[in-house]
Structure 1
């Protein structure tokens, strides 16, 4: 037997109170202040209802909450539409958690927008597992650097940015006479050398740049933002970092590298940019090894 009209409001309220998902209701006008939150939302966030009511849900956001996701939410609210997002929020004690938010408009009998209801679920474990799996897929097992798949993904994104005037560079590094190290000391020593090369390349670039191992002793770097003369100082610094002796099996081994850099022009594909950097590296080898070549593919004038 269905509930009658007198029972329904009380049962609905008790159901919302008992729900395991966090639920908030906000006004639709002004700053979308919270007018109701259920116990699960208090438990999820660590805040008591007295600290929540009257505030906008933005108080859960922090410095690492994605700006694009926040903008998507604002657009949905401004348009009076529903939205489904996953965003990084912070509990009262500062602990971050990934929040799957379903936001829906509430309208009165005349169709006027009056409130929003937000259903919130902690999906931190799911996101962390997903990121862990992605990390494995995109990481070079030997060096811990990014692998070819991740590098090409980042390079495709950088190439698209060329159309808006963004400038980046790609460097291709190949160790000179690496086979001699393997022959003299064995493959384990060669692997240790590759790991050290990866560490040194990583130390020479900025946090947001990408360093990857393509295969064997081939490494690439993606310098995400760059000025015209950046490579004039970066390329020598990379060479100097790589030529420092490496201690392998109590022996000092000196390794050198040939570097090729490309400043790409709009219209080039990611594969063409990588091939151009590879060609510049081979030009450096033909020039005598342990040197660098910089190619600027941008149109003159």
Structure 2
């Protein structure tokens, strides 16, 4: 290696601006979601590339389908794990790795992204919106082979953890000097500036004398031109310390195409930069060392003493290079652990499951055993949530975790955490003397000795508002100890776990409220002459008990029977409330005894006028019965599935009618109705798509399977038996089911 090569390499390693691609300078996909309508109302250029055929505004579910969002394995995301669905409910999404469909038709590979969602409740002019940012994670698996794939997956996880520390800002592009109008807590944590100190100022206050002017110029030019830009530059915190900041700016435009705001996505990538530089320095040092060794060898004949000295210097340089490389590898290992932790925490809103997965990563990689306790509503440690030991010992761990809350005393680490204290390390732990301990404290001491405890870490699971729990990590039988780096990693995992716990608690509260609302809105089956009725509502799963599926049946003043089935898109309070509104509107519109098509047209007008639902389908039918003489059915459909008929004397069949468009869609076409005569013993089925649809299946095939299922039931089967069998025959449903069966007497 020549001196010029060494000098050139050192210059590259110490430049004020990163070389392109060193951390990844791609812009992020930015979406603005209207919480009231659950619609994506703005998408920047990269977001439009992910869903190029979709016009805005568009429902978040439609945008997700158009972009082909899936999990890292390419499987569909559940409602509770879908970042867009959570963001549209006003819930923060701290970070979740997903994949999107690629535009290329020649590759089956998917684009890895990291999704972050933030409600903008405190941003002027954007208070009823949420920001969703999809950060590209470079995928290098195209190189081919298992080794390349493994390297790519590790790289994606490493980039994901960088994304989880992301800061967000919103600047007012219409005001002079484009001042910040909103910053998220991560921005204040990274920079040290409070929101009050940041809002109202241009974010150039983060720059310093060593910030590269060329990078600043790129930002200034992009803002003036209203285009997206992404650079990495050196910024400074409030305390004066420098950090590497990856900044991506995206303009937000109004309906006229004018830029109203600029969204900033900023990531502290200092750890990654330092790791890259450590690797670079290691390679340079190795080159210097080898060059020194070669020179020493050539000079050996002239002076053995000089050769030995040069060799010793080269060996020392080589050792330093190896130490630098080891430091870089440890830094990468910490990044990988944080990325894995973020992924497992974001994958579920079930608290125990998320924490159990987290401890599965920590034990035995970081600690020999660990205990997580959750705080109750009064801020006191309650039940043990999760325990894990590298050698099992679950019974001992459970007993230990149960005893800890009762043995807390002021001044102890866990007590201090609950009072808002910082994370704490106890690197050289030894059990306290037995004298003066209570019976419970003695048992805790005994169990600690049995499990092995020589080095401890205590970290809170907290949000900005409160402490939700504590996590204790312990080294014992392995003989390892904790250092400051371990404490930093554990504290970071604790913060991420605190956000997940807070999200899960908020989501659970919303679900309980929505479930109570929905149950109060579903009707009770009446007893009506000439028919036998049965109905069922079946939620898709234990984690998603609320939906917009509904049914109704009631007697009309003229003696006919009104039947209805409908489906409002969504699985939240808004869907349940919209379902209740539609049911009330239908009863009002149907009460005069008008034809089904007329009833649906009146509903169209009201749904459009009052903006009751985002997207809803419905079938409304009138059943006129005659004692023992059968009945006449008239029905109209607003974008809903056909009805099914199980005749008393023939095979099951579908009753099709013009499907029409969903309720509230302004197309200007008149709706029509269809009629059919029913015989005594015939059973009519009205159902929502959850009864028949399969993931990735064709609806025609799904309906054909329903007819095959009905063929296995004898004509005249009691309707309550029929609906129970139809609902229970398939346990793999991914959507809610509403089912109404009407048997003519």
Q: Name the TM-score, length of structure 1 as normaliser.
A: 0.47
Q: Bigger relative contact order, structure 1 or 2, given CA contacts below 8 A and separation 6+?
A: 1
State the TM-score, normalized to the length of structure 2.
0.20
> Based on CA coordinates, which of the two structures has the bigger radius of gyration?
2
